[in-house]
Amino acid sequence: MMSFFLKPRAFIGIAIIVLVYIALYIFDGSIIYGHVALVVYSISLFYEIIQLSRASNKLNGHRTVADQLSLSDEQSIQYQITNGSSQFLLFTIIDELPFQLQHRSFIFSPALNPGETFTREYVIRPVTRGLYEFGKLHLYFSTSILNLIEKRISIDLEKSVAVYPSFIQMKKYEVQVFNKVATLSGIKRVRKIGKTDEFEHIKNYTQGDNIKSINWKASSRRNNIMINQFQDTRSQSVYCIIDKSRSMKMPFDQLSLLDYAINSTLVLSNVILKKYDRSGLITFNDELSTFLKADNRARQLSLISKELYNLSTGYKESNFQSLYYHIRKKISRRSVLVLFSNFEHVYDMRRALPYLRQINKQHLLVIIFFTNTALQSESNRLVENTADIYSNTFAKKALLEKEKIAEELTLQGIQVILSTPAELSVNVINKYLEIKAKRMH
């Protein structure tokens, strides 16, 4: 689609001609020179229209965006505009970005010589899951000689892109978990307690290996110290349980707690499957919403990702009684249950505690809830007036309440992670690795 628009300086030119007409009529009584000026100005406009029309057929614009985007991660869109005409052109580039990105005026303004190509990357950060609709790319261009008229070309680059739970974080943490220097990124190496029971292979002794695992027969044959290498018992079932109640609507850095839980669930599920364990998924609020049986088949991660993509919070409270009965009915084998929820008050936790204790008797339960980073900042802020004293006191009280919740759950023998949203994935992975290393299941 093509359109022509008069630029502000064109309207100034028209205004000047009108003033010339008026001045000539008042002082000279003749408007012949006004007619001449009008004709010259009209010819200039017509000439520029012709030049722009010729150039428009030799312009090319392209936008490159991935077929899938990762939630909460910075990703780039690439733009490429080529001036194939023989004229120096001034451009204004406007893109129709999805409404979820909340960009109201997305503009580039390059000036391109004949045959020159403009390339630029633009960084976006999707903060909601779902389908993102990219629209048309609009090129407004004008010549540098007169610059009175601007022409618009709308390039049809409509594309629908799905934003999935963070597969970028999933890949990043996978590399860290299976990298020997992963401790530099926050992933802890937990010393294994006790002896694992599945033989893997015989290898050369290295410093730090357990001397009790020395294979004396192999050592004598090789004339070198050899040890038996064991591995952890595989096919342990691990379920991620996500609370979808209204308590998970709370936002941090533009993401809800539910979205942080979803990203961490995908990250953890991938690590679980790479460790040859079984991964499953449960979601609930006032009733059970999703139950995906723990498995380690090839398409399990894809099934989990698909379920996570469609999750949303509700306005009802969590029903832990219903969760307990469904777990007792559907999960017969002792498993590790990683529960993502959020308790703001001790009263809320105590109301759910009887059911959490019952679940923990049958399985190894790990409860994950969140510390409020905004309250942490408020509690550390310098007090300057009475209002600051109230705010500071409230923040400290709320943080202490969270710690009290964690303490009471720990006293009941329940594993607890009290984490900031930003550190959630690292903390969850470390807890899983600790459970495997210490054989707590």
As a whole-number percent, the residues of the chain with pLDDT over 90 amount to 46
Q: Given a cut of 80, is residue 16 above it in pLDDT? A: no
Lowest mean pLDDT among 122-131, 158-167, 192-201, 382-391: 192-201
Pair (279, 396) in one structural domain = yes
Give residue-wise pLDDT tens across range 421-440: 889 999 999 999 888 887 66
pLDDT bin (cut points 50, 70, 90) of residue 66 is very high
Pair (410, 355) in one structural domain = yes
CA atoms of 15 and 25, how far apart (whole Å): 15
Higher confidence at residue 343 or residue 33?
343
Higher confidence at residue 385 or residue 262?
262
Pair (377, 392) in one structural domain = yes
Q: How far is CA 353 from CA 194, 317, 341, in A?
A: 32, 15, 13
Looking at the chain, how many residues does it have? 441
H or E stretch including 429? helix 424-438
Pair (102, 210) in one structural domain = no
pLDDT bin (cut points 50, 70, 90) of residue 252 is confident
CA atoms of 288 and 79, how far apart (whole Å): 45
| Beta carbons of 173 and 429 less than 8 angstroms apart | yes
pLDDT at 82: 94
pLDDT, mean of residues 319-338? 94
Q: What angle do CA 100, 104, 106 make, to 5 degrees?
A: 105
pLDDT at 229: 74
Tokens of 332: 């017969």
Alpha helices of 275-385 — where are they, by DSSP H?
A: 300-309, 320-330, 346-362, 373-379
pLDDT at 194: 43
Closest CA to 350 of 401, 281, 389, 386: 401
* pTM of the full structure: 0.78
Give residue-wise pLDDT tens across range 95-133: 999 988 877 667 888 999 999 999 999 999 999 999 999
Q: What angle do CA 292, 163, 258 make, to 5 degrees?
A: 55
Structural domain including 127 reads 1-164
pLDDT, mean of residues 201-205? 79
Q: Given a cut of 90, is residue 183 above it in pLDDT? A: no
Pair (205, 237) in one structural domain = no
End-of-domain residue from the set 212, 231, 250: 231
Pair (154, 258) in one structural domain = no
Pair (219, 261) in one structural domain = no
Q: Given a cut of 60, is residue 184 above it in pLDDT? A: no
pLDDT, mean of residues 144-153? 81
| Beta carbons of 112 and 118 less than 8 angstroms apart | yes
pLDDT bin (cut points 50, 70, 90) of residue 387 is confident
**DSSP letter (8 states) at residue 408:** H
pLDDT at 25: 63
Tokens of 31: 């408007």
Pair (218, 325) in one structural domain = no
Q: What angle do CA 216, 219, 222 make, to 5 degrees?
A: 155
Higher confidence at residue 135 or residue 196?
135
Neighbours of 370 (CB within 10 A): 24
| Beta carbons of 72 and 127 less than 8 angstroms apart | yes
Backbone angles phi and psi of 121, in degrees to 5: -105, 140
pLDDT bin (cut points 50, 70, 90) of residue 29 is low
Ramachandran bin of 276, using left for φ above 0, alpha for ψ from -120 to 50, beta for the remaining angles: left
Mean per-residue pLDDT of the chain = 85
Q: Given a cut of 70, is residue 237 above it in pLDDT? A: yes
Q: For residue 396, what are the contacts with CB-CB under 8 A and spacing of at least 6? A: 379
Pair (269, 385) in one structural domain = yes
pLDDT at 199: 56
Lowest mean pLDDT among 111-120, 151-160, 391-400: 391-400
pLDDT bin (cut points 50, 70, 90) of residue 398 is confident
End-of-domain residue from the set 144, 164, 184: 164
pLDDT at 195: 47
Q: Given a cut of 70, is residue 304 above it in pLDDT? A: yes
User: In angstroms, how far is the first alpha carbon of the chain from the final one?
Assistant: 64
| Beta carbons of 52 and 2 less than 8 angstroms apart | no
| Beta carbons of 260 and 242 less than 8 angstroms apart | no
pLDDT, mean of residues 25-36? 67
Rg (CA), the chain: 33
Alpha helices of 343-421 — where are they, by DSSP H?
A: 346-362, 373-379, 386-411
Say which CATH number the domain at 82 has.
Answer: 2.60.40.10
Highest mean pLDDT among 4-8, 61-65, 217-221, 389-393: 61-65
Pair (185, 203) in one structural domain = no
Pair (132, 244) in one structural domain = no
Give residue-wise pLDDT tens across range 256-293: 999 999 999 999 999 999 988 999 999 999 899 999 99
Helices and strands (H, E) in the chain, number of each type: 11, 22
pLDDT at 33: 66
pLDDT at 193: 42
pLDDT bin (cut points 50, 70, 90) of residue 149 is confident
CA 226 vs. chain centroid, Å, equals: 46
pLDDT bin (cut points 50, 70, 90) of residue 188 is low
The crossing angle, in degrees rounded to 10, of helices 257-274 and 300-309 is 180
Say which CATH number the domain at 300 has.
Answer: 3.40.50.410
Pair (256, 365) in one structural domain = yes
pLDDT bin (cut points 50, 70, 90) of residue 23 is confident
Residues 114-139: b if buried by 16+ CB within 10 A, e if exposed: eeeebeeebebebbebeebebebbbb
pLDDT bin (cut points 50, 70, 90) of residue 189 is low
Q: What angle do CA 232, 237, 243 make, to 5 degrees?
A: 130
The domain tally of the chain equals 3
Higher confidence at residue 165 or residue 11?
165
